[in-house]
């Protein structure tokens, strides 16, 4: 059909010896690849990927960081780790932090977000105040709360004095300390999650809510059967960040308790710091890194696969 009309060139015009032409879109690719990729690639490989690989390697050795790792001990570091009571506490604490995020922080964030979705005066100001702790450094927040919890000079001391009860030294109490830490974590991060939900609520089609209203749904029903399901993807993102955040928690713990008292508030990273870095046990510290890495990757992949398939 292509040679159907007289205006077509005769088939003989096709070159007999087929010349291969280099496409113009391919030209010019090489310079950009050579100039633009190496900086990121080099930095990333040198300071992210290789150290991670080295952590796996070092974790099989007993090594103080000087010379080269020679004392191969197989999986002994991992054995030590899982028999270590402080490490078990750290694992449990990381779990507790995730639990607190799910049961307290996210519901609080959703509650505040739905309240701020009302067109009321001052909504923007409230939003700012709630977000404020999130922009503060963990270290500063930890120190501020250390003051709040202080049994001699802090706000807790004053409150206890007001009620005439003995001043609790919460951060020094090995049973209470972790809950005090949890409260600070929620204080610090709920604003971030609230912002996610505010963004999520803004994406909810107002017409759908009006349709629900016409169908007779009241306040709570409307929330339970329409708003909440529509917020599904935001909830999943929020939970994801809560989990990842809890696994890397370190900066906040150090000024508050430093992992104490008696290791009661260790997390995996503070454990790594205390036992790996401070004592220069490179092998053991690397083993913690490997465990953390495996947990992170498993969670990231598993979570994405199970819950975020459709997002």
* 44 alpha carbon, distance to own chain's centre: 20
Please tell me whether residue 169 binds another protein under the rule CB under 8 A: no
Q: How far apart are CA 85 and CA 284, in angstroms?
A: 14
DSSP 38-78: HHHHHHHIIIIIHHHHHHHHHTTEE--SSS---EE-TTHHH
In whole angstroms, how close is the CB of 134 to another protein at the nearest point?
A: 7
Please tell me whether residue 311 binds another protein under the rule CB under 8 A: no
* 250 alpha carbon, distance to own chain's centre: 12
In whole angstroms, how close is the CB of 151 to another protein at the nearest point?
A: 11
Q: How far apart are CA 82 and CA 289, in angstroms?
A: 13
Query: Which CB atom, from 103 or from 277, has the smaller least distance to another protein?
Result: 277
Which parts of 48-77 interact with another protein (CB under 8 A)?
48-52, 54-55, 58, 65
Which parts of 185-204 interact with another protein (CB under 8 A)?
187, 191-192, 195-196, 199, 201, 204
**Which residues, at least 6 apart from 155, have a Cβ–Cβ distance to it below 8 Å?**
147, 148, 149
Please tell me whether residue 181 binds another protein under the rule CB under 8 A: no
Q: How far apart are CA 88 and CA 279, in angstroms?
A: 19
Query: Which CB atom, from 39 or from 175, has the smaller least distance to another protein?
Result: 39
Please tell me whether residue 173 binds another protein under the rule CB under 8 A: no
In whole angstroms, how close is the CB of 247 to another protein at the nearest point?
A: 7
Please tell me whether residue 227 binds another protein under the rule CB under 8 A: yes
Please tell me whether residue 259 binds another protein under the rule CB under 8 A: no
Count other C-beta atoms under 10 Å from residue 285's C-beta.
25
Q: Which of 102, 157, 160, 172 binds another protein (CB under 8 A)?
A: 157
Angle between helices 85-100 and 232-247 (to 10 degrees): 160
In whole angstroms, how close is the CB of 301 to another protein at the nearest point?
A: 8
Measure the CA angle with vertex 79, ends 77 and 85; round to 5°.
Answer: 100
Which parts of 76-135 interact with another protein (CB under 8 A)?
111-112, 114-120, 122, 126-135
Nearest Cα to 101, choosing from 177, 180, 186? 186
Query: Which CB atom, from 153 or from 175, has the smaller least distance to another protein?
Result: 153
Which parts of 268-297 interact with another protein (CB under 8 A)?
269, 272-273, 276-277, 282, 285-286, 289, 292-293, 296-297
């Amino acid at each position: 059909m292509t040679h159907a009309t007289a205006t077509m060139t005769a088939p003989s015009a096709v070159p007999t010896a087929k010349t291969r032409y280099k496409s113009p879109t391919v030209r010019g690719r090489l310079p950009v690849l050579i100039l633009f990729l190496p900086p990121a690639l080099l930095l990333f490989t040198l300071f992210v990927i290789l150290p991670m690989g080295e952590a796996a390697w070092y974790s099989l050795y007993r090594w103080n960081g000087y010379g080269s790792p020679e004392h191969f001990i197989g999986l002994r570091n991992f054995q030590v780790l899982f028999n270590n009571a402080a490490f078990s506490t750290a694992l449990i604490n990381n779990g507790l932090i995730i639990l607190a995020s799910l049961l307290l922080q996210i519901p609080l964030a959703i509650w505040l977000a739905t309240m701020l979705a009302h067109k009321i005066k001052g909504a923007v100001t409230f939003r700012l105040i709630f977000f404020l702790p999130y922009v503060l450094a963990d270290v500063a927040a930890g120190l501020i709360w250390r003051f709040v919890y202080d049994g001699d000079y802090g706000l807790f001391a004053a409150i206890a004095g007001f009620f005439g009860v003995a001043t609790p030294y919460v951060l020094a109490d090995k049973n209470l300390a972790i809950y005090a830490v949890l409260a600070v974590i929620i204080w610090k991060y709920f604003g971030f999650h609230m912002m996610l939900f505010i963004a999520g609520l803004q994406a909810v089609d107002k017409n759908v809510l009006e349709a629900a209203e016409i169908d007779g749904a009241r306040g709570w029903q409307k929330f339970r059967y329409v708003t909440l399901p529509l917020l599904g993807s935001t909830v999943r993102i929020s939970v994801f960040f809560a989990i990842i955040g809890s696994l890397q928690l370190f900066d906040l713990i150090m000024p508050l308790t430093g992992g104490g008292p008696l290791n009661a508030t260790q997390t995996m990273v503070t454990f790594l710091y205390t036992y790996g870095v401070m004592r220069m046990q490179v092998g053991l510290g690397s083993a913690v890194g490997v465990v953390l890495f495996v947990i992170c990757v498993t969670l990231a992949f598993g979570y994405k696969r199970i819950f975020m398939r459709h997002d």
